[in-house]
């Protein structure tokens, strides 16, 4: 498995999903947030250090893309009270809008720092390696290493966008738009680093909004 060409792209994502499946069952309290960051950072180093390229030649535009996705993410709920409670978004399949952060941790600086680090630094790397670095190419050709970053087919574009949306539960529709925008951005830039940067900016803006406005429901 470790020698498989997909391991650097898929390995950290599998560790990430395992943590999501565990939820809060580890029972480590505040230290669990630091553990998640540490283990995921170690997984990125262990699996992906040979393929990870954080250079972002279109960095200024990537920042703009990231801010634009953030605006799209929060706009429906901001403009339309009760929007997210509609059955299209809150149901037995997508789940209900609820924060994964226990209320008792909302005022813990330690927890907020590590929860933000995970969202801004770890998640963009893990997810972009998987979605744009691997899956978008693997759906074009199982021998994905033959497929250059940013290669486009309608089927790979649509499937990746839909699966990315499914990862975001009751925020699936903005997740779908975000996934499509990130897909378009790698098609445009051919740069995984630029997609990581755009994703990181989106998450950083969202974290700032969550903490400043108390909109904890955005932290699934």
Where do the structural domains in the chain lie, given as residue ranges?
A: 54-218
**Relative orientation angle of helices 172-189 and 192-213, to the nearest 10 degrees:** 150
Q: Name the pLDDT band for 1 (thresholds 50, 70, 90).
A: low
Q: Name the pLDDT band for 49 (thresholds 50, 70, 90).
A: very high
Q: How far apart (Å, rounded) are the C-alpha atoms in residues 124 and 122?
A: 6
Is residue 220 pLDDT above 70, yes or no? yes
> Partners of 95 in the beta sheet?
91
Tens of pLDDT, residue by residue over 186-212, are 999 999 999 999 999 999 999 999 999
Arithmetic mean of pLDDT, 115-137:
98
* DSSP tag of 40: H
List CB contacts of 45: < 8 A, sequence separation 6 or more. none
Arithmetic mean of pLDDT, 154-162:
98
pTM for the full predicted model: 0.95
Return the closest-CA partner of residue 45 out of 129, 120, 116.
129
Q: b vs e for 46-63, b when ≥16 Cβ sit within 10 Å of the residue's Cβ?
A: ebbeeebeeebebeebbb
Alpha helices in the chain (DSSP H): 7-22, 31-48, 59-79, 109-117, 123-128, 136-138, 154-166, 172-189, 192-213
pLDDT attached to residue 115: 95
How far apart, in Å, do the first and last CA atoms of the chain sit? 30
Q: Name the pLDDT band for 3 (thresholds 50, 70, 90).
A: confident
pLDDT attached to residue 26: 66
Is residue 136 pLDDT above 90, yes or no? yes
Tell me what percent of the residues of the chain surpass a pLDDT of 70. Answer: 96
Tens of pLDDT, residue by residue over 21-32, are 876 666 668 888
């Amino acid at each position: 498995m470790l020698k498989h060409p997909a391991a650097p792209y898929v390995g950290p994502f599998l560790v990430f999903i395992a943590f999501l499946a565990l939820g809060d069952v580890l029972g480590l309290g505040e230290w669990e947030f630091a553990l998640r960051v540490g283990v995921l950072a170690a997984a990125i180093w262990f699996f992906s250090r040979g393929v990870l390229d954080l250079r972002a030649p279109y960095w200024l535009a990537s920042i703009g893309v990231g801010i634009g996705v953030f605006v799209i993410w929060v706009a429906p709920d901001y403009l339309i009270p009760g929007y997210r409670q509609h059955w299209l978004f809150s149901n037995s399949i997508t789940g209900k809008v609820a924060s994964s952060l226990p209320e008792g941790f909302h005022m813990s600086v330690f927890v907020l720092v590590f929860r933000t680090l995970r969202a801004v630094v770890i998640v963009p790397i893990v997810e972009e390696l998987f979605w744009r670095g691997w899956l978008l190419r693997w759906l074009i050709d199982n021998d994905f290493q033959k497929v250059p970053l940013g290669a486009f087919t309608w089927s790979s574009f649509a499937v990746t966008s839909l699966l990315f949306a499914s990862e975001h539960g009751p925020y699936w529709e903005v997740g779908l738009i975000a996934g499509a925008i990130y897909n378009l951005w790698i098609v445009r830039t051919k740069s995984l680093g630029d997609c990581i940067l755009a994703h990181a900016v989106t998450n950083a803006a969202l974290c700032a909004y969550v903490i400043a406005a108390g909109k904890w429901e955005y932290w699934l």
